[in-house]
Structure 1
């Protein structure tokens, strides 16, 4: 059985931001294979000195990430969330980065938040129990 996957779409992104998004997606692809404690440690180090991101900054970063990567536009939520946070960091900001699980039905997910609101997510993240978090 296969499930149909709808890819996220994003508008046109300026070339400099596309280049930065490609870099963030590449680094995220490497980091997503790290052990959870190491991933959290790297992201904690990356956020050092950053100011909290606004919802607009985080959404702009997410849109840039999904515009350059089919994986991130699809079901690679971990890579997408890492890349979004890293792209925000390249502009001196950091969103709240989270991973979590839910039980009914069981599912794991990664996302970014600003002021407690999940950025670009269709479903309610309150159903998820946060397992790893790197707050702004």
Structure 2
């Protein structure tokens, strides 16, 4: 985890993101993916650095997110990044042998703060950044 000292406002935003994520993860997987897709619509892609900093802060402020709470952690990171002006892609999926379910964020197809094996997981749900189309003229 990062030893960066974050301004109070950023820590408050992170706590809000963690609380909102805690409520959102009660939704069905399909509904959660739909809500996050709408939330990501028209956003700017987050950089790996921004997503990593958001992940580090969420983990520093929440034991659940730092531990086995991958769903809440990944949703909180998306929310926190969006509050800061950009969004990473959100994914949820699984691996076989042994069966493992997981949720994570990624930038440019690379999982942020996750073991490399996560990139081989089968994605079942995702909320990907789709920038707003540019209007002609």
Task: Quote the residue 1:80 is aligned against.
Answer: 73
Instruction: Give the SS at the match of 2:126.
Output: strand
Q: Following the alignment from structure 1 to structure 2, what is the Cα–Cα distance between the partners of residues 10 and 22?
A: 17
Does residue 17 in structure 1 map to residue 10 in structure 2?
yes
Contact 1:13 1:67 in 2 (8 A): no
Task: Quote the residue 1:6 is aligned against.
Answer: none
Task: Quote the residue 2:33 is aligned against.
Answer: 40
Aligned-residue RMSD, C-alpha: 1.1
Q: Which of these residues, 100, 108, 113, is aligned with residue 93 of structure 2?
A: 100
Q: Following the alignment from structure 2 to structure 1, what is the Cα–Cα distance between the partners of residues 43 and 116?
A: 28
Q: Following the alignment from structure 2 to structure 1, what is the Cα–Cα distance between the partners of residues 49 and 55?
A: 10
Q: Following the alignment from structure 1 to structure 2, what is the Cα–Cα distance between the partners of residues 116 and 37?
A: 21
Q: Following the alignment from structure 2 to structure 1, what is the Cα–Cα distance between the partners of residues 102 and 84?
A: 25
Question: Offset at 1:17?
Answer: 1.0
1:54-93 equivalence runs, <5 A: 54-93=47-86
Which shows bigger deviation, 121-130 or 15-24? 121-130
Task: Quote the residue 2:133 is aligned against.
Answer: none
Unaligned runs of 5+ in 2: 130-137
Give the TM-score normalised by structure 1: 0.89
Unaligned runs of 5+ in 1: 1-8
Task: Quote the residue 2:135 is aligned against.
Answer: none
Give the TM-score normalised by structure 2: 0.89
Q: Which of these residues, 107, 111, 118, is aligned with residue 125 of structure 1?
A: 118
Task: Quote the residue 1:4 is aligned against.
Answer: none
